[in-house]
């Protein structure tokens, strides 16, 4: 199948390819307001020239039977699950049409792109340590604790928030505007399904990063309340090191939380009122205040948060915003990420509660979320990969690569806080070689690039890029449009695979670049992840 593809925006700059240097980038780098990664517009999103279409772009599909006995045996190992999934022996590809930007367009900062890639690499290393060492859990496991419940009465309808790309702030992450306190004041917070704690930079800010707008001032809100260090909820957060002793009745609950790139926040654990939009069955919207949301009031905050006021955790743990609202909206939320290069005027929606309109769409597909295993970290959303498809062929990757170990190592998570997608060896090497074998006629670019597989497409009008999809153990297939796994460096005519090897870890991470323009539903009640190709900016 061939789909005509049109590339309209490029943002990543030429970077050094030394991963150690990327991981060790100085926290004090200056940032500008340029996007880190580009979102590549392809004609299948614009409805152009779909040729000999055997499937819809990005949809869960069934491949035709393969003549390869070896692959047939692999796919039919579990007939009750995989009987309808096999492989086309011929290559499947999409064609990239490259546009040449004028020189004046190419003013994006190399430091900004460098920072984003470095943050991803360092984040993964610490995510892996957090999983194996349980460093953000107390001695008592959080899994057996009672879930916190807000005092909001049961709500019929959905809680709706607005999402926007952080590209104009030089970030590869996504932002959500949240109204906090009484009277409510708006703060732009990073959306992160890979963490639990909600936190905001607070007055007095003893050591804080630069943000857009003023810091949150608890003295200016009549609904702010400290959590006492004797309160059982104080055990849900990690204490600073060395720990502070709780020796008075009115002493506040201190917290410390750290992230994969060395970023961290320290302050007081507290309760506050959050204001959100409420959509009722008639489609009209009004404002709803949700009281007693547990959050971190951060007085010491370090990291590369690109102007954000803090972070909104959407992980599975009891401290996350989603978990705290379960009594109101249930066990489901959904979001749709616009192109990462979009400016802040281009928005989409984050919906808390069952999205019936999405669930009723014919092109929504599901794969299982892994639950119930002792080795799982209760923060993350785990998926079980069976293999990877490149150019319509299932790659012969040892299935043990995708498995969790008894220590919690390995496995696959989907994470909105990581930009690129990462796979461990030998999976990554096999994926990279599959792309190298199928992309013909272009010299490989090996110098001055941040990623591992780049091509010099200077002077070329179009190149063929193999299709890419993930085959899950339950039989589901997630196919991606080309702009989700390939992009072009700014002005240089260099086209790169937006996938990297997981550094020093067996963990696989599906980042937000791969998730662009899919409507994703996290249904923890039925332990499933839904995905549907969508023009997110039109929601």
CA-to-CA distance for 398 and 74, rounded, in angstroms? 10
- Strand order of the β-sheet with 454-456 is 444-445, 454-456, 494-497, 486-488
Q: What is the 3-state secondary structure (H, E, C) of 349-414?
A: EEEECCCHHHHCCCCCEEEEECCCCCCCCCCCCEECEEEEEECCEECCCCHHHHCECCCCCECEEE
* Contacts with 69 (C-beta within 8 Å, 6 or more apart), sequence order: none
Instruction: Tell me if the pTM is above 0.85.
Output: no
Residue with tokens 């939380």: 257
pLDDT of residue 146: 38
Residue with tokens 């900004």: 112
Contact 292, 231 (CB under 8 A): no
pLDDT of residue 39: 33
How many Å is the Cα radius of gyration of the chain? Answer: 23
Report how far Cα 201 is from the mean position of its chain's Cα atoms.
22
Within the chain, how many helices (H) and strands (E) appear?
10, 31
Residues of the chain with pLDDT under 70: 1-91, 93-157, 167-172, 248-250, 260-262, 276-288, 375, 407-408, 448-449, 490-492
pLDDT of residue 133: 60
* Contacts with 498 (C-beta within 8 Å, 6 or more apart), sequence order: 37, 420, 421, 451, 484, 485, 486, 487, 513, 514
E strands of 2-115, at which residues? 2-6, 50-51, 93-97
pLDDT of residue 491: 59
Identify which of 219, 246, 217 has the alpha carbon closest to the alpha carbon of residue 234. Answer: 246
- As annotated, the active-site residues are 192, 415
For 203, the token pair is 């007055």
């Amino acid at each position: 199948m061939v789909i005509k593809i049109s590339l309209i925006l490029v943002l990543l700059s030429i970077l050094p390819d030394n991963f150690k240097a990327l991981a060790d980038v100085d926290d004090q780098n200056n940032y500008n307001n340029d996007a880190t990664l580009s979102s590549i517009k392809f004609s299948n999103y614009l409805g152009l020239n779909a040729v000999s279409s055997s499937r819809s772009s990005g949809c869960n599909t069934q491949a035709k039977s393969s003549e390869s006995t070896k692959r047939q045996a692999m796919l039919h190992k579990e007939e009750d699950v995989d009987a309808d999934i096999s492989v086309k022996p011929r290559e499947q590809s999409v064609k990239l049409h490259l546009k040449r930007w004028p020189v004046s367009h190419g003013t994006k900062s190399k430091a900004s792109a460098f920072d984003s890639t470095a943050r991803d690499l360092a984040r993964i290393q610490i995510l892996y340590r957090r999983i194996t060492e349980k460093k953000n859990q107390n001695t008592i496991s959080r899994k057996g604790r009672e879930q916190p419940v807000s005092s909001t009465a049961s709500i019929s309808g959905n809680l709706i928030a607005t999402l926007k790309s952080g590209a104009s702030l030089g970030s590869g992450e996504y932002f959500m505007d949240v109204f906090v306190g009484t009277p409510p004041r708006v703060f732009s917070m990073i959306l992160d399904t890979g963490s639990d704690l909600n936190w905001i930079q607070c007055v007095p800010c003893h050591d804080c990063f630069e943000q857009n707008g003023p810091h949150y001032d608890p003295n200016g809100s009549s609904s702010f309340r400290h959590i006492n260090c004797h309160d059982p909820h104080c055990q849900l957060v990690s204490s600073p090191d060395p720990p502070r002793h709780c020796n008075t009745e009115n002493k506040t609950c201190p917290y410390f939380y750290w992230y994969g790139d060395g970023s961290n926040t320290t302050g007081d654990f507290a309760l506050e009122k959050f204001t959100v939009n409420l959509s009722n069955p008639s489609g009209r919207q009004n404002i709803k205040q949700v009281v007693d949301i547990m959050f971190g009031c951060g007085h010491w905050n370090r990291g590369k948060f690109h102007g954000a006021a803090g972070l909104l955790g959407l992980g599975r743990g009891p401290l996350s915003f989603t978990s705290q609202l379960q009594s109101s909206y249930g066990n489901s939320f959904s979001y749709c990420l616009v192109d990462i290069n979009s400016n802040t005027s281009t928005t989409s929606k984050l919906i808390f509660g069952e999205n019936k309109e999405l669930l009723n769409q014919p092109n929504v597909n599901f794969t299982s979320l892994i639950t119930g295993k002792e080795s799982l970290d209760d923060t993350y959303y785990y998926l079980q990969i069976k293999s990877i498809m490149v150019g319509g062929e299932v790659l012969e990757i040892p299935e043990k690569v995708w498995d969790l170990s008894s220590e919690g190592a390995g496995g696959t998570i989907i994470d909105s806080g990581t930009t690129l997608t990462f796979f461990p060896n030998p999976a990554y090497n096999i994926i990279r070689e599959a792309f190298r074998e199928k992309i013909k006629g272009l010299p490989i670019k090996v110098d001055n690039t941040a990623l591992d597989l780049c091509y010099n497409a200077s002077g070329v009008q179009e190149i063929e890029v193999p299709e890419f999809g993930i085959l899950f153990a339950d039989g589901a297939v997630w196919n991606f449009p080309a702009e989700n796994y390939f992009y072009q460096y700014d002005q240089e005519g260099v086209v790169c695979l937006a996938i990297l090897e997981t550094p020093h870890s067996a963990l696989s991470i599906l980042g937000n670049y791969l998730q662009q323009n899919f409507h994703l539903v996290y249904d923890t009640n039925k332990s499933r992840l839904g995905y549907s190709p969508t023009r997110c900016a039109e929601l």
